[in-house]
């Protein structure tokens, strides 16, 4: 039985004052989110503060990325152990902004996914196609390749402790949402692909949808059989907007 999971990716937004307000607002509404799991992924520098603020609540903390190495001369990187020490339970890997702006390849993403697992963090593996790839009809090929990179490094069983977030790149931050049917088709493709290797892992795998999810479209998306919640960008920055999405999941 899968539980719906909603994660807020705050990206490089906020200040100490605004994140305190945001957490206060989310906490105030947590009573109304029912059974949905709720995760917030602050900018790395605020992880320690957010972990302290959410202590004792049902809100989990995730990082927006994770170093692929465990320690050493890797300027600018943050290791899994460091993230864990400051209260992270999840680590987003392979977000499309990391892939497209910072050049992270499928192989680099797979190494970060492995680092998360090695350090006891649950990876949230982001996959998704560009608009031109959808138009060329190669969405499944692209998403399949992104997932295969992880399976060939860590094995399909590794997905038992992971989340996949399907995020069509053309829908991220653009206001264009995939229709529930378009999203469901890809989610089903992902689940079937994994089921061909391990039916139990596939049945229990949480597959989130991400891309301009809002309170007004969340219910329809989350009502699809293979959509198990969402990875939320813009709408995660206001407590009321985020809570409306969490309520739709709950």
Catalytic, 95? Answer yes
Q: Are 10 and 237 in contact (CB under 8 A)?
A: yes
CA-based radius of gyration for the chain: 17
Helix-helix angle 16-29:239-249, to 10 degrees: 40
**Judged by CB under 6 A, which stretch of 29-37, 60-68, 145-153, 204-212 contacts ligand PEP?**
204-212
Binding mask 150-189 for ligand PEP (x = CB under 6 A): -----------------x----xx----------------
Q: According to the binding rule CB under 6 A, does residue 213 interact with ligand PEP?
A: yes
Report in angstroms how near the CB of residue 213 gets to ligand PEP at its nearest.
Answer: 5
Burial of 196 by CB count in 10 Å (0-12 exposed, 13-18 middle, 19+ buried)? exposed
**Judged by CB under 6 A, which stretch of 22-30, 47-55, 130-138, 226-234 contacts ligand PEP?**
226-234
Q: Are 1 and 34 in contact (CB under 8 A)?
A: no
Q: What residue spans of the chain are helical by DSSP H?
A: 16-29, 47-54, 80-85, 96-101, 106-118, 131-135, 139-154, 180-195, 199-204, 215-222, 239-249
Report in angstroms how near the CB of residue 76 gets to ligand PEP at its nearest.
Answer: 21
Q: Restricting to residues 6-35, name those near ligand PEP by CB under 6 A.
A: 9
Q: Using DSSP, state whether 70 is helix, strand or coil.
A: coil
Catalytic, 187? Answer no
Structure tokens at 190: 């992902």
Sole binder of ligand PEP in the list 211, 217, 218, 228 (CB under 6 A) = 211
- Of the pair 143, 201, the CB lying nearest ligand PEP is at 143
**Judged by CB under 6 A, which stretch of 47-55, 127-135, 138-146, 228-236 contacts ligand PEP?**
228-236
- Of the pair 33, 218, the CB lying nearest ligand PEP is at 218
Q: Are 40 and 61 in contact (CB under 8 A)?
A: yes
Sole binder of ligand PEP in the list 147, 231, 245, 246 (CB under 6 A) = 231
Where in the sequence numbering do the catalytic residues fall?
95, 167
Name the residues that contact ligand PEP, by CB under 6 A. 9, 167, 172-173, 210-213, 231-235
């Amino acid at each position: 039985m899968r539980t719906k999971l909603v994660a807020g990716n705050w990206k490089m937004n906020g200040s100490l004052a605004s994140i305190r307000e945001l957490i206060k607002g989310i906490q105030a509404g947590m009573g109304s989110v029912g059974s949905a799991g709720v995760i917030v992924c602050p900018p790395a520098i605020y992880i320690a503060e957010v972990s302290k603020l959410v202590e004792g609540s049902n809100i989990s903390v995730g990082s927006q990325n994770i170093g692929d190495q465990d320690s050493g001369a890797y300027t600018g990187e943050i290791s899994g152990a460091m993230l864990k020490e400051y209260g992270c339970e999840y680590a987003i890997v392979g977000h499309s902004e990391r892939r497209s702006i910072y050049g992270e390849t499928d192989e680099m993403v797979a190494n970060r996914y492995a680092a998360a697992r090695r350090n006891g963090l649950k990876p949230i593996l982001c996959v998704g196609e560009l608009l031109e790839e959808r138009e060329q009809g190669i969405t499944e090929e692209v998403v399949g390749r992104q997932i295969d990179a992880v399976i060939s490094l860590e094995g399909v069983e590794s997905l038992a402790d992971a989340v996949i977030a399907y995020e069509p790149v053309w829908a991220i931050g653009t206001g264009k949402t995939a229709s529930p049917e378009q999203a469901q088709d890809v989610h089903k493709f992902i689940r079937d692909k994994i089921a061909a290797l391990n039916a139990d892992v596939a049945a229990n795998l949480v597959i989130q949808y991400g891309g301009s999810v809002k309170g007004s479209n969340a219910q329809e998306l989350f009502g699809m059989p293979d959509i198990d919640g969402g990875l939320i960008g813009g709408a995660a920055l206001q407590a009321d907007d985020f809570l409306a999405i969490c309520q739709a999941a709950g």
